[in-house]
Amino acid sequence: MKIDLSFTPSESGLMKLTGKRVVVIDVLRACSTMIHALARGCKDIYPCATVGDARRLFRQKVNELSRDAVLLGGERGGTKVKGFHLGNSPGEYSTGVVGGKTIVFTTSNCTRNLAFIKGKGAKEVLICSFTNLPAVAERLAGDDTDLLLSLSGTDGQMSLEDAVCGGMLVDALRKRPGIVLSDSARTAYILYANYRRNIRRALLDSTHGKRLLELGFRDDISSCSRVGRYRLIPTYVRGRVAVARA
Ligand code: MLT
């Protein structure tokens, strides 16, 4: 199995994804928030690249389902978009708020990353952050399909916390027979090795982590650094993020 890694969405956009497994990572905060929402009983999530797309899809989903069944969530510049029901803090997505609901969701980087990947023939697209990483690693270990770790980054640049998360996945898989690491996957592993004893530190050291602290989202940093809090693995299939439930 070859493990490749892209540090930014535009790199993923240039790569051939046909037949590969893709793991989309956005530690702060979109993947962590989607995982949390699904763990709290949300039915499904429709990521949209732009605020305009999200508003349009929200109206469509309200017509298909009902007004009570759909919520609009997401951020720009880290804070809730005007008129949206929810921002991008995991804690907002409690069972009482999102249980049984469909969420139409847009964020600055991660949902754009998903839009780049959509329709490019990947065998499977998984959603990952620290909070479900051990479960994702176990799932990946059972299959030899080539892998792309697609990091969402921040404003078109690589972000430290996503790189450390990607590196942790590389570490979980690297000793298996037949693993070949790209230079970028190896680089992420080296970054992870630097933070392995204090994952929260990586989030606090990162540019986006500092920005979230300035905005008052300290609880989000703690929530997003809880490794292995959840066992669930959301997949992204035809524009929809959901968990296959038994
Ligand atoms: C994103 O997708 O850009 C992030 O989740 C930003 C954020 O922390 O809200």
Instruction: Tell me what pLDDT residue 245 has.
Output: 61
Ligand 1 atom with the smallest distance to the CA of 31 is 5
State the number of CA atoms in the 13 A half-sphere of 21 facing the CB. Answer: 19
Atom 9 of ligand 1 has which residue's CA nearest to it?
A: 78
Per-residue pLDDT reduced to its tens digit, 63-82? 999 999 999 999 999 999 99
Instruction: Tell me what pLDDT residue 194 has.
Output: 97
* Residue 22 falls in which region: left (phi positive, over 0), alpha (psi -120 to 50) or beta: beta
Instruction: Tell me what pLDDT residue 246 has.
Output: 46
User: Alpha-carbon distance 19 to 123, whole Å?
Assistant: 5
What residue type is assigned to position 204 of the chain? L
Query: Is ligand 1 within 6 A of the CB of residue 81?
Result: no
Residue 14's H or E segment, with its range, is helix 9-14
Q: Where are the domains of the chain?
A: 2-243
- What stretches in the chain show pLDDT beneath 50? 246
Handedness of CA 118, 116, 63, 95 (dihedral sign): positive
- Prior bond to 201 cis, omega within 30? no
Place of tokens 């007004």: 67
| Ligand 1 pocket: which of 28, 116, 159 to mutate (most atoms within 8 A of CB) | 28
Query: Is ligand 1 within 6 A of the CB of residue 113?
Result: no
Query: Is ligand 1 within 6 A of the CB of residue 88?
Result: yes
Place of tokens 């017509």: 63
Query: Is ligand 1 within 6 A of the CB of residue 127?
Result: no
Instruction: Tell me what pLDDT residue 14 has.
Output: 87
Residue 160's H or E segment, with its range, is helix 160-173
Residue 213's H or E segment, with its range, is helix 207-214
Instruction: Tell me what pLDDT residue 140 has.
Output: 95
Report CA 158 to chain centroid distance, whole Å: 14
Query: Is ligand 1 within 6 A of the CB of residue 30?
Result: yes
Q: Which residues contact 204 (CB under 8 A, 6 or more apart)?
A: 210, 213, 221
The pTM of this model reads 0.97
Per-residue pLDDT reduced to its tens digit, 205-233? 999 999 999 999 999 999 999 999 999 99
What six digits make up the tokens of 12?
Answer: 């993923």
Q: Measured in angstroms, how far is the CA atom of residue 88 from the centroid of ligand 1?
A: 7
Q: Measured in angstroms, how far is the CA atom of residue 177 from the centroid of ligand 1?
A: 35
Which numeric CATH code is attached to 2-243?
3.90.1560.10
User: Alpha-carbon distance 25 to 162, whole Å?
Assistant: 6
User: Alpha-carbon distance 246 to 239, whole Å?
Assistant: 21
What six digits make up the tokens of 7?
Answer: 């540090």
